[in-house]
Chain A
């Protein structure tokens, strides 16, 4: 093997003071146990709760002279998820990029599986799915499940995307693939993750799925109001027309 693989985790944060240290600990443990070269890029959007202080403490705790595992690249304010990834990508030294949420809904233990699957088929993207295989969710009541299945069914029927979990945001990308896809993306919010996947497939990239278990909202409440649902439906129809 000429060049070794390095995995850059892009973690946009806003008020993740409680979750950040734990997710970092989980990432460090998983990567070390699997002998993988990694780095964590924290893109904090000016959190008022002191998330950046925690990030600096983590840097002191985990970084060594030879291995700058954790990097903090903050921004002045809430500037959106898409631009957070673009910002973080500039500093990513790895040839693979992982995007995930900071609130443990995406568990790092699935990363080795995603990485192994990627190597197996040289996939451009490996995405976690909550809806196929033994994927699942903890913490959703009947109503939430109904909304989720309904939303997925709607997107599936309208867009026929070929992935079982379209709004999932736990993904492993080849770095240049992410760069290409993200520059062509226009939406915000929920639609952003959907659009990335739909565009990636339209561009002909190879996508594989790994079932994941999604533990929702360990701290705090799950927010899914009528407005979000309306935004989502508009997002799907928008994609139907544009891609």
Chain B
């Protein structure tokens, strides 16, 4: 099963369950039927969008910069160049 098939199958399942509720085919308390069910899709989309945006922002904010790694690398490159020259390898 591909990821696409999996996603679409789950999507279809969720959509069917929702349609049952939306069309009033299942016995639900009035408040839920009239106030909650109609807005559920838009609420789900907005919440998901907000969640993704938060993950993105958080990811960028907590991005790990590693200046020490670069400093260490620069030193190693220096060392490498000296040793390589001794071994007869061209380093430019």
Q: Which residues of A contact B (CB under 8 A)?
A: 17-18, 21-22, 25-26, 53-54, 57-58, 60-62, 104, 107, 131, 134-140, 142, 145-146, 149-150, 152-153, 157-160, 213-215, 218, 239-243
Could you tell me if A215 and B3 are in contact, using CB atoms closer than 8 angstroms? no
A61 touches B84 (CB 8 A): yes
Most chain B CB neighbours (cut-off 10 Å) among A61, A149, A242: A149
Chain A residues touching B, majority SS: helix
The interface residues of chain A lying within 8 Å CB-to-CB of B3 are: 158-160, 239-241, 243
State which of B2, B56, B69, B76 has its C-beta within 8 Å of the C-beta of A136: B69
Cβ-based interface call for B59 (8 A)? yes
Binding site for A on B (CB under 8 A): 2-4, 7, 52, 55-56, 59-60, 63-67, 69-70, 73-74, 76-77, 80-81, 83-84, 87-92
Residues of A within 8 A of B90 (CB): 21, 53-54, 57
The answer to whether B60 and A17 touch across the interface, beta carbons within 8 angstroms, is: no
- With A22-B91, A215-B70 in contact, do A136 and B81 touch (Cβ < 8 Å)? no
10 A-B pairs whose Cβ atoms sit less than 8 Å apart in the complex? A18-B92, A136-B66, A139-B70, A149-B63, A153-B52, A153-B59, A157-B52, A215-B73, A240-B2, A240-B4
List, in ascending order, chain A residues with CB within 8 A of B81's CB. Answer: 22
